[in-house]
Amino acid sequence: MKTFALAGAIGLEGLVGPIIVLLIIVILLAILAANIKVVQQSKAVVIERLGAFRAVWGVGLHLKVPFIERVAKTVSLKEQVVDFDPQPVITKDNVTMQIDTVLYFQITDPKLYTYGVEHPMSAIENLTATTLRNIIGDLELDQSLTSRDHINTQMRAILDEATDPWGIKVNRVELKNIMPPRDIQESMEKQMRAERERREAILQAEGQKQSQILVAEGEKQSAILRADAAKQAKIMEAEAEKTAKILAAEAESEAIMKVQQATADAIKLINEAAPGEGVLKIKALEAFQKAADGRATKIIIPSELQGLAGMCAAAKSVFDTVEPNPPKK
């Protein structure tokens, strides 16, 4: 029995060494795994060595020295949004109202953000409240309600400058709600209602004015068109009358030309026939007879035709005295 006990003791002593070595290896691996740090995208890790700032790790795989270095702070580099609670502010005309703000900021320097200020969010909230009070205190109520862009721009500039030593960049500041007292709201609603009624009356008056102007303009244009139509009609009538006169004159001229041509042709024929003096005198006498058909006509007969005229008159008187044969019953 003693022999077996001694052999068992010797066997256990032989296993102690490997077990201890295995435990040491496991512990070292655990320590090594605990000191391997993987930094994600848009993150930054502030490392301290023996309580002092060592470095800022960016994206990737890092290994810190065990028991000497530690992770002081993990910082997000994304743009962050903070919605602060409503803050009471007093305007220049002594109106108290509640305003809540929304802040958009981004950490640009993890070291300054870690060591620059204690409780950065609380510091930014208090700074935002005091800045808002200072700006609103210089404005009246109406200006505060209508100058949001000016207030936002001024606050962003002041906060960005103040938070620069903290490694924070303020990108944008927005006034989310402006809540004046209830009685002020009622007064504003009445004022707005009155303003809307005034604008409505002005719009109606402008509409009536424009309507009357359009009607007058239409009547004016109609009168102008009627006058132009009458003018055109007169011009066309005058042109038609002128054309008719021209055509009549051309027809008359053509008739005269034809008569003159016929007369010329007749004279030509007479000349070609070589008439005697007696024929010419008879023709002249016929022409004078036609001229004497009118009343109050005084005719002077040339001496060459007086004898022939006397003969014609005597012959006419003889024929007038002879009674014609009475008709047979």
The model's confidence at residue 132, banded by pLDDT at 50, 70 and 90, is very high
Is pLDDT larger for residue 227 or for residue 17?
A: 227
Q: What is the mean pLDDT of residues 111-136?
A: 91
User: What's residue 300's pLDDT?
Assistant: 56
Is pLDDT larger for residue 288 or for residue 37?
A: 37
126's tokens: 């208090």
The model's confidence at residue 2, banded by pLDDT at 50, 70 and 90, is very low
Instruction: Give, in order, the Cα–Cα distances in Å from 104 to each of 125, 165, 206, 237, 245.
Output: 12, 17, 46, 84, 94
Q: Name the residue type at position 301.
A: I
User: What's residue 65's pLDDT?
Assistant: 86
CA 312 to CA 306: how far, in whole Å? 10
The model's confidence at residue 281, banded by pLDDT at 50, 70 and 90, is low
In order, the DSSP letters of 103-125 are EEEEES-HHHHHHS-SSHHHHHH
User: What's residue 154's pLDDT?
Assistant: 92
Residue 105 pLDDT greater than 90, yes or no: yes
CA 41 to CA 62: how far, in whole Å? 14
The model's confidence at residue 30, banded by pLDDT at 50, 70 and 90, is confident
What share of the chain has pLDDT > 70, as a percent?
A: 78
The model's confidence at residue 118, banded by pLDDT at 50, 70 and 90, is confident
User: What's residue 299's pLDDT?
Assistant: 53
Any idea of the CA torsion for 214, 219, 220, 226, to the nearest 10 degrees? 150
Categorise residue 301: left if φ over 0, alpha if ψ from -120 to 50, beta otherwise: beta
Max avg pLDDT among 5-19, 140-154, 283-297:
140-154
What share of the chain has pLDDT > 90, as a percent?
A: 23
User: What's residue 327's pLDDT?
Assistant: 47
Q: How many CB atoms lie within 10 A of CB 166?
A: 21
User: What's residue 7's pLDDT?
Assistant: 47
Is pTM beyond 0.85? Reply is no
Each residue's pLDDT tens digit, 138-181: 888 888 888 889 999 999 999 999 999 999 999 999 998 888 88
Is pLDDT larger for residue 244 or for residue 325?
A: 244
Q: What is the mean pLDDT of residues 13-40?
A: 82
Task: Give the helix/strand (H/E) hosting 154.
Answer: helix 148-163
Contact 69, 48 (CB under 8 A): yes
The model's confidence at residue 135, banded by pLDDT at 50, 70 and 90, is very high
Q: What is the mean pLDDT of residues 235-246?
A: 88
User: What's residue 43's pLDDT?
Assistant: 92
Q: What is the mean pLDDT of residues 65-81?
A: 90
Residue 80 pLDDT greater than 90, yes or no: yes
